[in-house]
Amino acid sequence: MARHLITSAIPYINGIKHLGNLVGSQLPADLYARYQRGRGNEVLFLCATDEHGTPAELAATKAGKPVAEYCAEMHDVQAKIAEGFRLSFDHFGRSSSAQNRELTQHFAGVLADRGLIREVSETQMYSPEDGRYLPDRYIEGTCPNCGFDSARGDQCDNCTKQLDPVDLINPHSTISGATNLEMRETKHLYLRQSEMRDELQTWIDSKADWPVLTTSIAKKWLNDGDGLQDRGITRDLDWGVPVKKGSEDWPGMEGKVFYVWFDAPIEYIACSQEWVDAGKGDDWQRWWRTDAGAEDVTYTQFMGKDNVPFHTLSFPATILGSGEPWKLVDYIKSFNYLNYEGGQFSTSRGRGVFMDQALEVLPSDYWRWWLLSHAPESSDSEFTWENFQASVNKDLADVLGNFVSRVTKFARSKFGEVVPEGGDFGAQEEALIADLSERITRYQTMMDEMEVRKSAQELRAIWAAGNEYLQSAAPWTVFKEDPERAAAIVRLSLNLIRLYAILSAPFIPDASATLKDALKLDEMSWPDDVAAALATLAPGEDFAVPENLFRKITDEEREDWQSRFSGKRD
Ligand SMILES: [Zn+2]
């Protein structure tokens, strides 16, 4: 039995994500986790919320709540939505956990001991009235470029010019409004990534099988300009992992926290500790420590392309730099962006469909199928309501749903709700089995290679093969002359439904569960031998006609949704 460690990029805590975020990491990671479990492999599938940093503080202030309380609430909201989309995490952790705090401090201590952290003095805007250093986003003033009076310390939203807080005219604190700001010297820690450039380069070069999207981004950061730069890993903030050298205080670093990008990926490991501490598992080290059983683990990460630099360079620098036997990622599957109706999804403008809204409109299988079958792999892809309607109506309702409905209803009307006996399989069935055997092998290959769209295409072809068989075998005609032959066709077709329930589960788990219940299946083992799999349901076993698996989307609904999601959410 192979062992698969699978992680999805961890979503930031401030608010509900849109469908583009979902298809860029969590959903394909879930597809792969479900597939590997379906094949009988051992899987640990982890995700978490990314909770530290200035945006969380700002969002909490806006919501009028203490930041810890805000994060706890939003974590529950995101966890509930993840359940709604049937994301089958073994654990959905939190980067603000005690486990991550301790592990982050541990890594910093070890990296410092190995000479991979240096202290740098910088000047930063300080507000005596607030008693704190102000991150760029906490400072506003007049833009020196266009005169806009609410330009932020990092950028002017009016003319888009990138700014430094010192550029602003009449800067003030957005916390207190204080204007007596001053530049003060402050010390920060930098991870000496430049020292590790050669080691990282060798490691990336050894990953010949990685997608071009992943390696091209990594190589750009390694080689462009002066090459890989050292990276600041601390901030003058309250909300975060306090800077410590292991369990010791770090002189000069009092009151500072680690930068969110240092602690967030470490949460992948901490999440597995949370999983154990929650009583869901008993040994996290055999997934993460190559000296404790993780040598045979295959570790796959899923993420959008914007997260690739941190996962190919910064996090590996932390892991490799520690000199400790941690499991490194084996494969990084990255995604381009999903666009929305000729433009971009926009969280700030509420443009596009957000995860909570999607589930209010239709059950998760509809979305899962469309998103995965149109995943932005080789290039960006685009969501349109026309395409969504067409895919759902054709693939799910006409091809799969219709097959299940025709077979089960015909079977019930002629033979009752039991698998009929009698009749033999002939040339048509042999041809079908040969065709399906080839197609399922291709489907497995595509799934093993994480070719998401191609896997969906193959699955759809497998559904269509059943329809074609049923159409040409025509049991409703045959029944009049040769009821035994019709019984054989129906028996095979009921077994095909079982086969579809198993093969489709990674894409549409709810429909798969409905079919499993209808056929009263107690085991769903992967069809390694198609002929044997299609003889699993034996004559005399009972079944029920399931509810309609998928309904069609009407033109009226489509138009309604189109206008509802065109801008500004409530
Ligand atoms: Zn401006």
Residues belonging to the chain: 570
All domains in the chain, ordered by first residue: 3-114+261-335 (3.40.50.620), 117-191 (2.170.220.10), 367-377+384-542 (1.10.730.10)
- 47 among annotated binding-site residues: no
pLDDT tens profile 514-567: 999 999 998 899 999 999 999 999 999 999 999 999 999 999 999 999 999 887
pLDDT above 80: residue 59: yes
For residues 420-441, give the mean pLDDT.
Answer: 96
For residues 269-297, give the mean pLDDT.
Answer: 98
What pLDDT is stored for residue 192 in this prediction? 96
Helices and strands (H and E) in the chain: how many: 22, 18
Residue 153 CA to ligand 1 center (angstroms) comes to 11
pLDDT above 50: residue 405: yes
Task: Using the Cα atoms of residue 409, residue 412, residue 415 and residue 419 in order, give the sign of their dihedral.
Answer: positive
Residue 173 CA to ligand 1 center (angstroms) comes to 18
The secondary structure element, H or E, covering residue 300 is strand 297-304
Residue 137 CA to ligand 1 center (angstroms) comes to 15
Residue 136 CA to ligand 1 center (angstroms) comes to 15
Q: How far is Cα 458 from Cα 443, in angstroms, rounded to an integer?
A: 6
Task: Using the Cα atoms of residue 451, residue 452, residue 453 and residue 454 in order, give the sign of their dihedral.
Answer: positive
Q: How far is Cα 123 from Cα 185, in angstroms, rounded to an integer?
A: 4
Q: Which residues of 437-519 form beta strands (DSSP E)?
A: none
- 146 among annotated binding-site residues: yes
Confidence of residue 568 (pLDDT cuts 50, 70, 90): low
- 514 among annotated binding-site residues: no
Residue 457 in 3-state DSSP? Answer: helix
Q: How many CB atoms lie within 10 A of CB 568?
A: 9
Residue % of the chain over a pLDDT of 90: 86
What pLDDT is stored for residue 225 in this prediction? 84
pLDDT above 90: residue 349: no
Q: Phi and psi for 375 in degrees, rounded to 5?
A: -60, 135
Residue 349 CA to ligand 1 center (angstroms) comes to 20
Please provide the DSSP assignment of 151-207 as one string. EESSB-TTT--B--GGGSEEEEETTT-----EEEEEEEEEE-GGGGHHHHHHHHHT-
Residue 87 CA to ligand 1 center (angstroms) comes to 42
Q: How far is Cα 191 from Cα 115, in angstroms, rounded to an integer?
A: 9
Confidence of residue 137 (pLDDT cuts 50, 70, 90): confident
Residue 225 CA to ligand 1 center (angstroms) comes to 28
For residues 460-479, give the mean pLDDT.
Answer: 97
What pLDDT is stored for residue 570 in this prediction? 46
Say which range, 83-97, 129-143, 393-407, has the weakest mean pLDDT. 129-143
What pLDDT is stored for residue 331 in this prediction? 96
Residue % of the chain over a pLDDT of 70: 99
Average pLDDT, the chain: 95
pLDDT tens profile 226-253: 888 899 999 998 899 999 999 999 999 9
pLDDT tens profile 288-325: 999 999 999 999 999 999 899 899 999 999 999 999 99
